[in-house]
Amino acid sequence: MTHKSAEDNIKKVLHVVGHNEDYIELVHSGKDYFHRLEKIIEKAQKEIHLQTYIFENDSTGNRIAALLKKAAQRKVKVYVLLDAYGCAALPDSYVHDLVQHGISLRFFSPLFSWNNFYLGRRMHHKVVVADGKTALIGGINIADKYHGTTESEPWLDYALQLYCPAAVDLQNLCKDYFFKQRSSKKVNPVLHLVNKARVGILQNDWLKSKTEVCDAYTNAILHAEKEIVIVGSYFLPGRRIAKALKKASEKGIKIIVVLAGVSDVPLVHKAATYLYSSFLQHDIQVYEWNRSVLHGKAAVVDKKWATIGSFNLNSLSCYGSIEMNVEVYSSDFAEILRLDFDKVINECSEVTNTTLKQSNKGFNRIAHWFSYQTIRTTILSLTFLPHLRFLEKFRL
């Protein structure tokens, strides 16, 4: 099944024709995502919020920047929030040019501030929303590597396009972060009815007592009845999610994880490889994607519940970074995403006890162990350092 046919099926299933034309659509990295992003910016009439971890000064970034400047020139209010670490390489002249063209731009959380040590707390979500009507949310940053070139495939990743009331929720959340507004109390995520699907926006911001993505993953895994399929980059599940996966395995639930065979952070890949033997011992099927870097963060449980977003299954996403995901309760949508996963799995290499013995020979096993201990220690440090406050009165 091709990506295009999957998209056509989603339109047929979840596209509602009527007075209020609400829909959701699965989006793939590459031309699919960036074509939609460009159209959203071009059609915006009043307000655009774009928030991303990485915005690079390359052909893809320059094309999106040019469209944002044109939007500002036609009196659309354009608000851009970039992560200070993820966009550290963006030249000052580039930023100045965007501001000079009427774009309101801000960087989230410099690495160091007077009252806080913000080494690990990053704004990791990737969201664009226009006029509170249409939005893109997922794991796709703005850079050539997510778009792809004539020489290389785009990194494997997913997003969702929303044209429904959930877009209003996203716009409000973007405003909260851009204008540094603080909600007075924690509220449960709202699920909106889109045809027969229920769609909600999940946040993870442990510093603000929001663990919605982590909670949703854990609950979905614990309540699984037949099957759990996870596509995950930087897959190093913390104690809570690892315990849930172990319980699911003990109940005889089929568990499949699709991981990066090619990673932009080789040390993380080696650390994950160290865990493969434990996964296989618990009857978890492991597949590696080798055609390009796997950067996706998505899951389907029992072909009923699905999630796509920026959340990685590791402690840094659980307790350090600010993440956003969409969750969808819909057998129709879950079936489409599951079929897409099947296509990916068919192009993967399966990890078995035999292949693992071959890759773990001699020095490799020591390297995998060392990588795991290094990454685990680093993640623990990055998880808790952001929450140290040098001055007690400045605690949130």
pLDDT of residue 362: 67
pLDDT of residue 20: 52
* 77 burial level (CB within 10 Å; 0-12, 13-18, 19+): middle
pLDDT tens-digit readout, 145-188: 999 988 889 999 999 999 999 999 999 999 999 998 765 445 57
Q: What is the pLDDT of residues 299-339, one digit of tens each?
A: 999 999 999 999 999 888 888 889 999 999 999 999 999 99
- Identify the structural domains of the chain with CATH numbers, from first to last: 3-182 (3.30.870.10), 201-385 (3.30.870.10)
**Predicted local confidence at residue 18, as pLDDT:** 27
Q: Which residue has the tokens 């201990």?
A: 373
Nearest to 10 by CA among 330, 238, 270: 330
Residue type, 222: L
Output 384 or 182, whichever has higher pLDDT.
182
Contacting residues for 186 by C-beta, under 8 A, at least 6 apart: 208, 209, 210
Residue 96 has a CB neighbour count (10 Å cut-off) of: 11
Annotate 64-81 with DSSP letters as a single string.
Answer: HHHHHHHHHHTT-EEEEE
Given a contact cutoff of 8 angstroms between Cβ atoms, the answer to whether 238 and 314 are in contact is yes
Would strands 77-83 and 104-108 be described as parallel, antiparallel, or unpaired? parallel
Per-residue pLDDT reduced to its tens digit, 18-65? 235 799 999 999 999 999 999 999 999 999 999 999 999 999 999 999
- Which residue do the tokens 């290499």 mark? 349
Q: How many helices (H) and strands (E) does the chain have?
A: 13, 17
Under the banding of pLDDT at 50, 70 and 90, the label for residue 13 is very low
